[in-house]
Structure 1
C-alpha cells in the first residue's frame, strides 16, 4: 500500500503562449506536457524493442544482433554501450512487462517508475515479475519515486522471499568502503552498509552535529579518529508483523524511512531490540503505540510511527529527522494531541511559516492542504501492511 494522495484536477491549459498563462494555467500546461512526454517515452520503448527484433542475433551467446547498437548509436549520437543497454531494456520491458509500458503510454506512471519496475524485477522469473508488476501498478504511481520503489521492493520480497533474502546476504558480504578524489580538491568516501547500520550512523552524526554546531564531515572525522565525544542515544524504528516475528510467514518488515526488508532481516534486528506494540486499524493506519516499555514512548513517537516521513507531499525525509508541528498553532489555541500534530522536516516546516500554504487536519493523520495556486490536496499517511492470518 502507499500513501493516499488526492489532488483536485483542472481543465487543460488554454491554447495560448505559455508566457501569457497565469499560475494555475501554467501548472496545467506543465502537467499535460509531462504526460505527453510519458506517451512519447512509451513509443520510443516500442520502437527500440522492434529494432532489436529486426536485428536478431546470428550466433550463440548473445542477446542482440551484431551491429544493432552501433547503427543506433550513429543515429542518436550516443555510445554503442549506451544504445545496447537501451535496446536490451526496451526489449525486456515490451516482452516481459507489457502492462508497465502501457501504463507509461497512458500517463499512469512516468519513465523513471517504468525503469524501476524493470530494474527491481530483473532477478525474478517471468511469472514472479508479472505478479509484482500487477500488484504495484494496481496500487497506483505513489506520490513520489521513492515510495513507488518501496512498493516495488515489498512486492519483490513477497513474490520471491527466499531469493530476496539470498540477494541481501550476498550484498551484505560485499559491503565496502571506497574513496575517490574530486576535481574541486576534495575527496569522497562511499561506505556501503546494511540499511539499519546506515540509519544508525547518520542519526548519530546528525545529533552530534546539532549539539556541537559542527558540520557532519567534521563529526565523522572526530568519530573515526577516536576523539572523545558525548554520544546521544539514537533510535531506528523497525516495524514487523507479529506473525513474521513468530515465523508463521515471510511477510516483509520495514525500517522506518528506509523501506521494506526481508522477514529474516527483520527477525535478526528484533533479536536484540526493544519492542513496542503498535496497533493498526484494518487498513493499516496506526491507532496506538504502546505506552509501556518494552520502552515508554511519548506522543512524538506515536506521530513519528504514524506519519513515517515528512508529510509534505513528495518529501521522503524520515519522520525521525523531522520536527513535530502543530496543525493549528499552539499560540492560536491548537492542542498538543494526535489530531493536531504532524511531522514536517525543517525545510517544509519553515515553508509553512513563510508562505501562504494552508493546512487543516480534519481527523488524526489526514491533512488537507491548499497550495498558493488554490489547489487542494488531501493526503493520509502510508498505511502499514496488514499481515495475513
Structure 2
C-alpha cells in the first residue's frame, strides 16, 4: 500500500470542493458592490474549508503516528524490525531504543523530515492522543490549527500529569480566536498559574544556565544568542530599538532591523554608536506587580510587558533598584492601576501608558506588532464626535489603521477592552486585550 495515498485523505477530513473556484474571475463591471463582497466572501470561505480539512488531516496523522508507535513497541525482542543477531541483545531498554529508531527513520523518510523533527512529532502525537484529547478533538474538527496544538503542548510539557487536564480546559478555548503568538502568551500565563513549583524556584534554577552562544551561519555571517533573565534581555532589545530609532534619519538607507543590529554591535564593541549614541541610554521595561507582592506579603508572579509572568523577586528588584524602569502598582483584587510612577497629571501620556499595558500589541485580528510602534486609534472618529476615552481607543499598527480608515473594515468597542471587527465581506473577528484591567479610569 502506498502510505502517501493513505495519508492523503483522512476519513474525518472534509472532502475537497467538487467545483474549485474559476481561475477567471467574473466580470466585475456587471456586479453590484454587494455581489462583489459576497463573491469575495465565498472565496475566503473556501480558504477556511481548506484550513479545516488540513487541521482534520493533522489530527488524523497524530492518531496514525501514535498507532504506529504503539504497535512498534509490541515488536520488542522480535525480528520484525531488528536484525536477528540483535534480537534480545542489550536488554529491553536497548531493544526499545532500536525499535524507536526504526520507527523514526521510517517516518523521517516518508515525510521527508529530519529525525529530530520526527521525534518531536511522535512525542506530540502521543501527548495529543493520550493526554490532551480535547485538543485533538478540536484539531480534528478544524477549530484550531496544528500550530496552536503545538503551542499548547510546548507550554504543557513541564506540568505534572495531574495539572494537565485543568491546563487544557483553561487554555484551549482561546485557541479558536487567537493567533499562535497570542495564544502562546495565554498558555504561558496559565502554565504559571497551575505549575506546582514556584516561578521563583524555576527562574533561579534557569539563571544558572545563562550563556552567550556564538553560532556560525553561511555567507560570512553568524548569530549571537544571549540566554539571560528576561527583563535584562528585553531591556537590551529596547535599548537597541531606541538607538536605532534615533539613527533612522530621512537620509538613512538602512531598515530599522538593520539599524538595531548595527547599533547594538557598535555599543558592545566600542561603547557608543557611529552616531555618538550609546553611553547612558537604557531600555525601558514596564512591570505590573501587586502591592502585596511588592511589599513582600506574597510571592504572586508579576507581569512583564511584552513577555508575561516573571517571579516576584525579579519584579521587586526592578521596582526597587532600577529607576530607569517604569514602575506599576496594581491592586491585588481589582487589578486597578494605582500608580505608574508619574510626577504630574498629563492626560495624553497617562492614558497612553494605561492603553499600552492593556493592549501590548496591535488590536487588529492576527496582528502581533508591539503597541510601542502602533498608532492609537479613535474607534468612533474624532470628527464624528468620538471621545478620547479608554473605551474608544486602541492600538493599531499602520497597516491596520489604514484598513480601518480607508476600507470597509469596521470595529466596535465592547466593555472590557474587547473589540469586534467586521470585514468588507461580512466576516467577523473578536480581539481581546492582553491584560484585563478591571478599572474605571479617571474621566478624561
Query: In the TM superposition, what are the counterparts of 1:77-116 in structure 2 within 5 Å?
Result: 77-116=112-151
- SS of the equivalent of 2:242 reads helix
Q: CA deviation at 1:44?
A: 0.9
Matched-pair contact (CA < 8 Å) for 2:290–2:331: no
Q: CA deviation at 1:45?
A: 0.7
**Size of the alignment, in residue pairs?**
372
- SS of the equivalent of 1:372 reads coil
Q: CA deviation at 1:358?
A: 3.1
Q: CA deviation at 1:181?
A: 3.9
TM-score, normalised relative to structure 2: 0.72
Q: Which residue is equivalent to 1:266?
A: 315
Please, which of 11, 17, 22 is the counterpart of residue 19 of structure 1?
22
Q: Which residue is equivalent to 1:129?
A: 164
1-structure distance, mates of 2:435, 2:374: 19
2-structure distance, mates of 1:362, 1:118: 32
Q: Which residue is equivalent to 1:312?
A: 364
Q: Which residue is equivalent to 2:93?
A: 61
Matched-pair contact (CA < 8 Å) for 2:286–2:328: no
**Structure 1 residue 229 corresponds to structure 2 residue 281:** no
1-structure distance, mates of 2:299, 2:109: 49
1-structure distance, mates of 2:104, 2:300: 42
1:321-351 per-residue CA deviation (whole Å, 9 max, x = no partner) reads 3232333444665444434432123443345
**Structure 1 residue 151 corresponds to structure 2 residue 168:** no
1:91-130 per-residue CA deviation (whole Å, 9 max, x = no partner) reads 2332222222222112232211212222222222211222
2-structure distance, mates of 1:175, 1:346: 37
1:65-107 per-residue CA deviation (whole Å, 9 max, x = no partner) reads 6122233344444454443433233223322222222221122
Select the structure of larger CA radius of gyration.
2
Matched-pair contact (CA < 8 Å) for 1:280–1:288: no
In structure 2, runs of 5+ residues without a counterpart are 1-15, 26-38, 78-90, 253-258, 439-444
1-structure distance, mates of 2:376, 2:217: 38
In structure 1, runs of 5+ residues without a counterpart are 1-12
Please, which of 259, 263, 270 is the counterpart of residue 219 of structure 1?
263
Matched-pair contact (CA < 8 Å) for 1:157–1:262: no
2-structure distance, mates of 1:125, 1:339: 40
CA pair 14-162 structure 1, distance change in 2 beyond 3 A: closer
Matched-pair contact (CA < 8 Å) for 2:235–2:282: no
Over the aligned positions, Cα root-mean-square deviation in angstroms equals 3.4
Please, which of 284, 290, 300 is the counterpart of residue 352 of structure 2?
300
Please, which of 375, 398, 401 is the counterpart of residue 349 of structure 1?
401
- SS of the equivalent of 2:429 reads strand
Q: Is 237-246 or 254-263 further displaced after alignment? A: 237-246
Q: CA deviation at 1:166?
A: 3.4
Which protein has greater RCO, CA pairs closer than 8 Å, 6+ apart? Answer: 1
TM-score, normalised relative to structure 1: 0.81
1-structure distance, mates of 2:118, 2:428: 42
Matched-pair contact (CA < 8 Å) for 1:256–1:318: no
Bigger helix fraction: 2
- SS of the equivalent of 1:19 reads coil
1-structure distance, mates of 2:40, 2:413: 26
Q: Is 99-108 or 317-326 further displaced after alignment? A: 317-326
Matched-pair contact (CA < 8 Å) for 1:310–1:316: yes
